[in-house]
């Protein structure tokens, strides 16, 4: 880091990413046919840990893969363009991305995080608070008074997740950004649940965007990775320098696979959310379903906001089964296409039971406060035929025949 590197020529930059490209073109085409060595159409994976110097004190653009790597670089440039940021830092997981943002904080700083934030994020925030790295306040950011109270304490960072996991609650990003900026707080948005195809937090005023690229961006459930995109070049520089200091940068092969997955982000998520809307409507009409949480439903409390703030409603759906935990177990056991597993955003459909899986670490009391009941199931809707997925859910409900079900 810090050595002189040859700057890209204007022509080279233009070849990499013309300014007028639509986001889906950036996803499909950024970095294609830019290989100077052999004219490879797909950007090659550079696994080399180190790079030759051109000569004494003459570093090339890359010198060592922890600090920078061409395969990671083309993914970072593509993500930055999709999110409308000045640059991106690609790291080894979504949690590493959250932690990289937290590395900007000092012991007397306060972080305001959603009360129903991703459980790994909650665990990380609580652990760093316990070690005295900073203070944390968990608040319901959809509650105006609670948010105002938190902002009075002048947090250094406000962390937003919208839609939230697993209840798909939607908060007004630009309104929270305006209020946070008014007291001098910076704002980071975890955009994992929608991806830049459906929501662009920097356009809504956010300073930083966090991704678990494990989810929709890679989309094939075969890489764990993360990224931070910053609106300001100075933040990109600080974050990249810190990622190099701690060595949290992502592996080149992971970056290569993630870019390969990212090529089809737009068609994937568009098809997945179409199916998700059908499944949400099917579930809402089913007598053995107490409530469906999907921002695309008119009954969802965040429907209007999601419609204004997002370019689509996404492909995550959660619902409360009418019945008890035994019914949930029977339902899940009868499914064939929906695989019982954590994670989301892949081409295959998954079902998760937050109370015993993703959110078990929260404890029953925090789960109750966040509204995550024992009969809640979360679906990540994949690319299978819609009719097959409906049939699969019907099979799950058929397994409940004869059980009480409880009142709707
Ligand atoms: C999965 C996830 C993370 C953590 O990402 P990993 O890649 O699993 O480390 C963070 N935030 C959200 C919203 C997630 O869904």
Q: Domain ranges for the chain, please list them.
A: 10-262, 265-398
Which of 95, 167, 169, 218 has the most ligand 1 atoms within 8 A of CB, as the residue to mutate? 95
Choose which CATH entry (3.40.1410.10, 1.10.730.10, 3.40.640.10, 3.30.1330.40) describes domain 10-262.
3.40.640.10
The mean pLDDT value of the chain amounts to 94
Q: Say how far apart CA 386 and CA 92 lie, in whole Å.
A: 33
The whole-number pLDDT of residue 2 equals: 43
Nearest-CA residue for ligand 1 atom 2 is: 212
The secondary structure of 248-273 as a DSSP string is: -BPPHHHHHHHHHHHTTHHHHHHHHH
Q: pLDDT tens digits for 115-127?
A: 989 989 999 999 9
Q: Is the pLDDT of residue 24 over 60?
A: yes
Q: Say how far apart CA 231 and CA 217 lie, in whole Å.
A: 19
Say what percent of the chain tops pLDDT 90: 88
Tell me phi and psi for residue 112, to 5 degrees: -105, 115
The whole-number pLDDT of residue 8 equals: 53
- DSSP E strand stretches across 64-182: 87-91, 110-114, 135-139, 157-161
The whole-number pLDDT of residue 406 equals: 53
- End-to-end Cα separation, the chain, in angstroms: 61
Report whether 384 contacts 348 (CB < 8 A). yes
Q: Is the pLDDT of residue 204 over 80?
A: yes
The whole-number pLDDT of residue 375 equals: 96
**Overall average pLDDT of the 306-332 stretch:** 97
Ligand 1 binding residues, C-beta < 6 A: 93-95, 118, 120-121, 161, 165, 190, 192-193, 212, 214-215, 224, 226
Q: pLDDT tens digits for 146-189?
A: 999 999 999 999 999 999 999 999 999 999 999 999 999 999 99
- DSSP E strand stretches across 176-260: 186-190, 208-212, 226-230
Report whether 343 contacts 350 (CB < 8 A). yes
The distance of Cα 406 from the centroid of its chain, to the nearest Å, equals 35
Q: Is the pLDDT of residue 383 over 60?
A: yes
Q: Is the pLDDT of residue 99 over 50?
A: yes
The residues annotated with a catalytic role in the active site are 66, 118, 190, 215
The whole-number pLDDT of residue 16 equals: 59
Q: In terms of pLDDT, which residue wins out, 264 or 364?
A: 264
CATH class for domain 265-398? Answer: alpha beta
Token reading at 11: 């022509």
Q: Is the pLDDT of residue 1 over 50?
A: no
Which of 90, 94, 224 has the most ligand 1 atoms within 8 A of CB, as the residue to mutate? 94
Tell me phi and psi for residue 365, to 5 degrees: -70, -50
Q: Say how far apart CA 192 and CA 126 lie, in whole Å.
A: 21
Is this prediction's pTM over 0.85?
Answer: yes
Report whether 399 contacts 330 (CB < 8 A). yes
Lowest average pLDDT, out of 23-37, 139-153, 364-378, goes to 364-378
């Amino acid at each position: 880091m810090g050595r002189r590197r040859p700057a890209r020529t204007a022509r080279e930059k233009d070849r990499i990413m013309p300014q007028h490209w639509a986001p889906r073109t950036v996803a499909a085409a950024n970095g294609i046919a830019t290989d100077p060595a052999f004219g490879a159409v797909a950007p090659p994976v550079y696994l080399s840990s180190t790079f030759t110097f051109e000569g004494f004190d003459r570093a090339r653009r890359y010198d060592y893969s922890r600090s920078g790597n061409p395969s990671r670089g083309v993914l970072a440039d593509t993500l930055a363009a999709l999110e409308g940021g000045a640059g991106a830092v690609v790291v080894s997981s979504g949690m590493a991305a959250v932690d990289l943002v937290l590395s900007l904080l000092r012991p007397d700083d306060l972080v305001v995080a959603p009360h129903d934030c991703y459980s790994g994020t909650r665990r990380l925030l609580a652990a760093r608070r316990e070690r005295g790295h900073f203070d944390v306040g968990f608040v319901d950011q959809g509650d105006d008074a609670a948010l105002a109270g938190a902002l009075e304490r002048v947090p250094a960072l406000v962390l937003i997740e919208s839609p939230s996991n697993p209840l798909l609650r939607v908060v007004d990003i630009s309104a929270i950004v305006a209020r946070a900026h008014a007291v001098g707080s910076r704002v980071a948005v975890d955009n994992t649940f929608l991806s830049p195809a459906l929501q662009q937090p920097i356009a809504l005023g956010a300073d930083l965007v966090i991704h678990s690229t494990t989810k929709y961006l890679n989309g094939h459930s075969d890489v764990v990775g993360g990224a931070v995109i910053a609106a300001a070049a100075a933040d990109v520089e600080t974050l990249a320098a810190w990622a190099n200091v701690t060595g949290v940068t992502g592996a080149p092969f992971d970056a290569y696979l993630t870019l390969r997955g990212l090529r089809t982000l737009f068609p994937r998520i568009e098809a997945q959310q179409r199916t998700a809307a059908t499944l949400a409507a099917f579930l809402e009409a089913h007598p053995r379903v107490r409530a469906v949480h999907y921002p695309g439903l008119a009954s969802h409390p965040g429907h209007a906001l999601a419609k204004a703030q997002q370019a689509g409603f996404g492909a995550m759906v959660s619902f409360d089964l009418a019945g008890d935990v035994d019914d949930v177990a029977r339902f899940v056991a009868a499914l064939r296409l929906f695989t019982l597993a954590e994670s989301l955003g892949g081409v295959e459909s998954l079902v998760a039971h937050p109370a015993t899986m993703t959110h078990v670490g929260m404890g029953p009391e925090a789960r109750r406060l966040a509204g995550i009941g024992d009969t809640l199931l979360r679906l990540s809707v994949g690319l299978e035929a819609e009719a097959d997925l409906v049939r699969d859910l019907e099979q799950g409900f058929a397994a409940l025949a004869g059980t009480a079900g409880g009142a709707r």
